[in-house]
Amino acid sequence: MALNCILWDVDGTLADTERDGHRVAFNMAFEEAGLERRWDVPTYGELLAVTGGKERIRFDHERRGLEAPAAEDIAGLHASKTRHYQGLIAAGRIPLRPGVRRLLEEAYEAGITLGVATTTTPAALDALIEHSLGSEWFDRFAVLAAGDIVPAKKPAPDIYTYAMDRLGVTPHETLAMEDSGNGWKAAAAAGLKCVVTINDYTKDHDFSGADLVVSEFGEPDRPPVHVFDNPHGLEDLDYVRLSHLRAIMHG
């Protein structure tokens, strides 16, 4: 099948948002609320097994044997965290990952439909687009599927199914771009082929069955990417090109 659509995850895929973005913003929200809890880097890595920020707050209380806050308190903490996260992005603290802008622009110029399928909040997604990509991308993305727009978050396939339904495309013409085990499982459950770019938090996840697993998308003027799995036998993988993505769909 031809490559007609690419659906992008956000956190860890478009940008390395987790460790130096969301985690920091959560801690700022905790401090603002007068809570003693702080999530260090290893702790937040453990919590990433739970999809969704509000869900992580609840899970962290429960696993420590504490009564979880009321739903409205969790929602308030999460709203505060989102505000702090937007500030971090606006300050230029969270740049795009290498190769992301290049691939997005090449795909857009080639007439490939582009969309976002993420569990991050719409406000956080809007901030990243505005400050890291540019406001023109609000129109270039044909769908922005984010947050609680579907009842079940990744690894459920719902967000991908929703995005494809909105776009009128099928799994046979759509490629997913992910960074985590839960994201890969969601894409696979939706019947999508998937390219994975790992990060420090996801390097030990199981990506068995993914169509390409690399350290990053890379750039022509950067050191070659590290290839962890290349089941389609793609060549010249010093950096990921649009031609590689097309070849995956044909494979």
- Catalytic annotation, residues: 9, 11
Distance CA 116, CA 112 (A): 13
| Helix or strand (DSSP H, E) at 188 | helix 181-189
Q: If we measure between CA atoms, which residue out of 188, 174, 161, 189 comes closest to residue 246?
A: 174
Strands 227-229 and 212-214, bridge-based pairing? antiparallel
Here the contacts of 44-49 (C-beta below 8 Å, separation 24 or greater) are: 44/18, 44/19, 44/201, 45/200, 45/201, 48/18, 48/180, 48/201, 48/202, 49/182
d(CA 114, CA 14): 13
By the 8 A CB rule, do 122 and 144 touch?
Answer: yes
Tokens of 16: 């390395």
The strand pair at 193-197 and 141-145 is best described as: unpaired
